Amino acid sequence: QVQLVESGGRLVQAGGSLTLSCAASGGTFSYYSMGWFRQPPGKEREFVAVIKWNSGTSYYADSVKGRFTISRDNAKNTMYLQMNSLKPEDTAVYYCSARDGDGTFYTGPAYYNYWGQGTQVTVSS
């Protein structure tokens, strides 16, 4: 059973940086795609970034492109989201997710089979 555990969320000032981690276990992730989603207060869950575990190629939402970087450490089975130049509108619960397959980049939450419990990121103005 695949398990995902996020960490690293906290309160940060606008313009600051933060790195989220997602520890994955219970599976072999060579042909998985791993993603980050977020859910702002009162809004639906939205796509942030996705990475193909094997190749390391990635894709970003326009709202975070150039500010956020997704990466993974194969040896540690851990995925990261480096967030720079944070804005108040980045405030959300951030979730890591995984799906079995590394073809097309999928940005819809319904395509992902596994989810973490979420970690709160709050950006103050």
What's the pLDDT at 23?
97
Point out the least confidently predicted range of 5-9, 20-24, 25-29, 55-59: 25-29
* Structure tokens, 47: 């796509």
DSSP reduced 3-state for 81 = strand
pLDDT higher than threshold 90 for residue 27: no
Give 77's pLDDT tier (boundaries 50, 70, 90). Answer: very high
* Exposure class string for 72-86: b at 16+ Cβ within 10 A, else e: beeeebbbbbebeeb
